Amino acid sequence: MKVKDVLDLIKSEDVEYVDVRFTDPKGKLQHVTLVVDLVDEDFFEEGFMFDGSSIAGWKSIDQSDMKLILDPASVYIDPFYAEKTLCVHCNVVEPDTGEPYSRDPRGTAVKAEAYLKASGIGDTSYWGPEAEFFLFDDVRYSVTPHKVGYAIDSVDAAWNTDTEYEDGNLAHRAGHKGGYFPVNPIDAAQDIRGEMLSTMKRMGIKVDKHHHEVASAQHELGMIFGGLIEQADNLQKYKYVIHNVAAAYGKSATFMPKPMKGDNGSGMHVNMSIWKDGKPLFAGDKYADLSQEALWFIGGILKHAKALNALTNPSTNSYKRLIPGFEAPVLRAYSARNRSGCVRIPWTESPKAKRVEARFPDPAANPYLAFAALLMAGIDGIKNRIDPGPASDKDLYDLPPEELAEIPTVCGSLREALEELEKDMDFLLAGDVFTRDQLEAYMTLKWEEVYAYEHTPHPVEYAMYYSC
């Protein structure tokens, strides 16, 4: 959309408010709601001032003024507000110079797309994230000096087969790790997922499917691929819709990678491809019908995987999912169709659909930073012709210990990921896509999370050590 199109939409839809939205460094969507009378062509050009010191990891209070510049291509009508409200995603700029603010995640993604074009490698990249989530009926937690713990429940969960309910227990539930994917009444979330998907479609997102996932109370909706900025915006909308539709049904949604012990965690597989002059760059005559550029792209991701973890798996909870010996893709290997490595080449008959799938990211990631970082790693692989080595077509979950020991892994903790990012960030700094100041500020925020986690006694420690 152009600005004129947006203003016409405001009139035709009788919009009362305009919600300007942006994403903070941790990936949380933020917003300010404005009376529609304030929004005209000048408003789009001049932007909206706000206090950047209120956002963790951004401005100090003595330099707090910042400006939001609205992107007219990102508008949609909010489906949840009582008053008709038009939403628009924004980039953050310095108010005195108009230059992009270096710590703005969306601005970083914009620069990553520009860097791809400037590199001459390609002119377009396509992204298809697959983010999983959980729906719970009751969530309680406590982090106080005298009480640390949590309790979750879902009526649909396998552990409730013998729970006494006032209206009786109807018993139709998927067993442990049995949620992929029986029909209703075992899958009791058909209607809520359907409403989520149809809501996303009304907001302009191209969608294709929804289904129950492997774990109890775990689900996934499908979005059709799109450009980097478009899909990062869409992932923010995806989370927004799921949280709000769940709340309307009296449920609580979470994108925590590992909210419960002993069952599958939530990943966010990211499908990627690069095109140039209208042709798919990743289609060729090498392994799995990939091009040499695609193999080098994989090489870049595998080489920088541990540094990428700080951005693609940015929570301490992420590494409860990335544990060797289970189903999570922790091994830095690649293969066609094989889901046990951290990079997979999905099977397709069409060269246009040839793509690379990174399987280690999770939905706690800030999508703008995660997608930009993955693209930068892949470009580094192509520019430096990084050989990914031979493909791993065996079941990596069933290798002999001596073979398994020879395959490198991704990080085992957020602490390790931050240490790796500190050592290996030059590929992100290329073309000033990321800046050192931005990454250092991001790491400062994440070190606070590491210390909070590491300094807090855990209930498991009481079970193991209280009577020692």
- Is 26 flagged in the annotation as binding? no
- Is 130 flagged in the annotation as binding? yes
- Is 168 flagged in the annotation as binding? no
Q: Which amino acid is at 240?
A: Y
Active site residue 83: no
- Is 440 flagged in the annotation as binding? no
Q: Side-chain half-sphere of 8: how many Cα atoms within 13 Å? A: 5
Q: What is the DSSP string of 225-281?
A: -EEHHHHHHHHHHHHHHHHHHHHHTT-EEE--S--STTS----EEEEEEEEETTEET
The answer to whether 278 touches 133, Cβ cutoff 8 Å, is no
Token readout for 405 is 């020991």
- Is 448 flagged in the annotation as binding? no
- Is 339 flagged in the annotation as binding? yes
Helical residues (DSSP H) of 384-458, grouped into ranges = 401-404, 414-423, 426-429, 436-454
d(CA 277, CA 427): 25
Residue from 19, 94, 123, 130 carrying the catalytic annotation: 130
Residue from 176, 339, 393, 424 carrying the catalytic annotation: 339
Active site residue 130: yes
DSSP 8-state assignment for residue 100: B
What is the residue whose two structure tokens read 């941790």? 26
Give strand pairing partners of 207. 223
Residue from 71, 78, 156, 220 carrying the catalytic annotation: 220
Contacts 24+ apart (CB under 8 A), 103-107: 103/25, 103/57, 103/58, 103/435, 103/437, 103/438, 103/441, 103/442, 104/22, 105/23, 105/24, 105/25, 105/27, 105/366, 105/368, 105/369, 106/22, 106/23, 106/229, 106/232, 106/368
Active site residue 166: no
What's the distance, CA 274 to chain centroid? 19
- Is 357 flagged in the annotation as binding? yes
- Is 384 flagged in the annotation as binding? no
CA dist list (Å): 450 to 288, 316, 363, 426: 40, 7, 18, 23
User: What is the Rg, in whole angstroms, of the alpha carbon atoms belonging to the chain?
Assistant: 23
What's the distance, CA 171 to chain centroid? 34
Active site residue 357: yes
Token readout for 155 is 């009526």
- Is 113 flagged in the annotation as binding? no
- Is 352 flagged in the annotation as binding? yes
Residue from 5, 41, 51, 426 carrying the catalytic annotation: 51
Q: What is the DSSP string of 52-94?
A: GGGSTTS--GGG-EEEEEE-GGG-EE-SS-SS-EEEEEEEEE-
Residue from 269, 332, 344, 415 carrying the catalytic annotation: 269
- Is 184 flagged in the annotation as binding? no
Residue from 106, 193, 210, 359 carrying the catalytic annotation: 359
Active site residue 193: no
Residue from 71, 104, 357, 380 carrying the catalytic annotation: 357
Residue from 78, 156, 213, 263 carrying the catalytic annotation: 213
- Is 293 flagged in the annotation as binding? no
- Is 99 flagged in the annotation as binding? no
What's the distance, CA 345 to chain centroid? 20
Residue from 24, 78, 104, 132 carrying the catalytic annotation: 132
Active site residue 51: yes
d(CA 317, CA 326): 16
Active site residue 94: no
Burial class for 31, CB neighbours closer than 10 Å (0-12, 13-18, 19+): middle
- Is 436 flagged in the annotation as binding? no
Which residues sit in the known binding site for Mg(2+)?
130, 132, 213, 220, 269, 357
Active site residues: 51, 130, 132, 213, 220, 269, 339, 357, 359
Which residues sit in the known binding site for ATP?
208, 339, 352
Which residues sit in the known binding site?
130, 132, 208, 213, 220, 264-265, 269, 321, 327, 339, 352, 357, 359
Which residues sit in the known binding site for L-glutamate?
264-265, 321, 327, 339, 359
